[in-house]
A = this chain, B = another copy of it.
Amino acid sequence: MAQNHLLLLPGDGIGTEIMAEVEKLIAHLKEKGLADFSYDTGLVGGCAYDAHGQAISEEDMEKALKADAVIFGAVGGPKWDDVPYDVRPEAGLLRLRKDLGLFANLRPAICYSALADASSLKKELVEGLDILIVRELTGGVYFGEPKEIIDLGDGQKRGIDTQVYDTYEIDRIARVAFDLARTRDNRVHSSEKRNVMKSGVLWHEVVTEVHKDYADVKLDHILADNCAMQLVRNPKQFDVIVTDNLFGDILSDAAAMLTGSLGMLPSASLGAPDANTGKRKALYEPVHGSAPDIAGQGMANPIAMLASFAMALRYSFEMIELADKLEGAISSVLDEGLRTGDIMQDGCKKVSTAEMGDAIIAKI
């Protein structure tokens, strides 16, 4: 079967609008004979809850498990702030991550040179910035049990979450980080709080052990609080940062914002290679959220979504050249001065979601 099969899950808010640009791109690639993707679509998040009371249906989960890759938009919005915990929009995303076994979340924080001025940091500190955060995505406090609220009586409740990491979980994410470092600047910072957390002690121990297989890669250990500081002080000191689910959530968001290119940043979530086919399950999503305030107005920035598709080409389909071409197209429309509202600058041309998508696709 030469055809590669995708599941598109636009989700809520601006998810639909930015996913429309992916559909255009897929059609364009087929028309030009550059790549042949078939796809299904499904519901996730608030829209799935509205349709059938679950953050993702069993049927769509089936489709996700069968697809070569899932392309994900964004979930959530004020409309669903008060739905029950188990069916809140995020539950759909968390279930996809867990049931697909997507333990490795790759979050590049790069600063597009055309946008270096948009950062809150001084330009010289972010220009050329290129960090890769490798976040563990299926363990830690996100999934550990017990996770509950207990009624203690007398008006007292107890909220409990459990941070759990096993050796093999740390081992495999460390290997992903070291492998990726070898394709980059060959440096890894491993971040935890081993001075207060036992899971951090184990994290530190296992990463140190795995490093023996990667003696050519430079490894530094950095406490998570210091890592947050150093990201703010001088982000260019980092190449690859590997960290747990919760620290990864916070540190990668801080790093993304530092670049000034938040609306541009993609992510990839990968599973382990299949024992028979060698293929990894995968989900690709923009780092930004569903932006309900601007949804439906055709003004959302589709770049992070298209850049996520580029990551799919690279990591799921080994279409490296095409991925490079797509990323190049994004840089060059920015260099030409095209801007959606979120990144508008003096002297640039303000365009809609569709116009931005068209301009990028036209270059491929």
Interface residues of A (CB under 8 A from B): 76, 85, 88, 90, 94, 120-122, 125, 141-142, 144, 147-149, 152, 155-168, 193, 195-203, 224-226, 228-229, 231-234, 246-247, 249-251, 253-254, 256-258, 262
Chain A contact residues: helix, strand, loop or mixed: helix
Residue of B nearest to A163 (CB): B161
**Whole-angstrom distance between the Cβ of A95 and the nearest chain B Cβ:** 12
A162 and B158 alpha carbons, distance in the complex (Å) = 12
A253 contacts across to B, CB distance below 8 A = 225-226, 228-229
**Whole-angstrom distance between the Cβ of A304 and the nearest chain B Cβ:** 14
Decide: A120 near B234, CB < 8 A? Known: A148-B198, A254-B254. Answer: yes
Is there an interface contact between B166 and A163, defined as CB atoms closer than 8 Å? Answer: no
* Count of chain copies: 2
Partner of A159, one of B88, B202, B251: B202
Is there an interface contact between A167 and B163, defined as CB atoms closer than 8 Å? Answer: no
Decide: A233 near B142, CB < 8 A? Known: A195-B90, A225-B249. Answer: no
A164 contacts across to B, CB distance below 8 A = 158-160
**Whole-angstrom distance between the Cβ of A86 and the nearest chain B Cβ:** 11
Is there an interface contact between A229 and B257, defined as CB atoms closer than 8 Å? Answer: yes
Partner of A196, one of B142, B159, B231, B234: B142
**Whole-angstrom distance between the Cβ of A272 and the nearest chain B Cβ:** 16
Is there an interface contact between B163 and A157, defined as CB atoms closer than 8 Å? Answer: no
A sample of 13 more A-B contacts (CB under 8 A), given A76-B195, A156-B166, is A94-B196, A120-B121, A144-B160, A156-B168, A157-B167, A159-B166, A159-B197, A161-B198, A161-B199, A225-B249, A228-B228, A232-B257, A250-B250
A92 and B241 alpha carbons, distance in the complex (Å) = 30
A-B contact pairs, 7 of them (CB 8 A): A120-B121, A120-B125, A159-B199, A159-B201, A159-B202, A160-B163, A228-B254
